[in-house]
Amino acid sequence: MSAHCQLTGRRPGFGNAISHSHRRTRRRFDPNIQRKRYWLPSEGRYVRLALSAKGVKTVDVIGIEAAVARIRARGEKV
């Protein structure tokens, strides 16, 4: 599973890990991705989404129907 949110589009950020001696090595900051299953009443089925923690909260606010509409508008398959 790639580390990106289907709703918000969050992807990993990149930066440096800095040691005590101040040497820098490249590292990656992954978003907090959760696999969630939601009931989609309009289609009478469950959908499984890979969402960031902020994406889960967004679904709680706008509802699953609007969230799926946004995901499909971005061209992703649900």
The pLDDT value given to residue 1: 55
The pLDDT value given to residue 2: 77
Report pLDDT digits (tens) over 13-71.
999 999 999 999 999 999 999 999 999 999 999 999 999 999 999 999 999 999 999 99
What's the whole-model pTM score? 0.84
DSSP string for 8-60: T----EEEEEE-TT--EEEEEE---EEEEEEEETTTTEEEEEEEEHHHHHHHH
Cα separation of 27 and 63, whole Å? Answer: 35
Q: Cα 11 vs. chain centroid, distance in angstroms?
A: 8
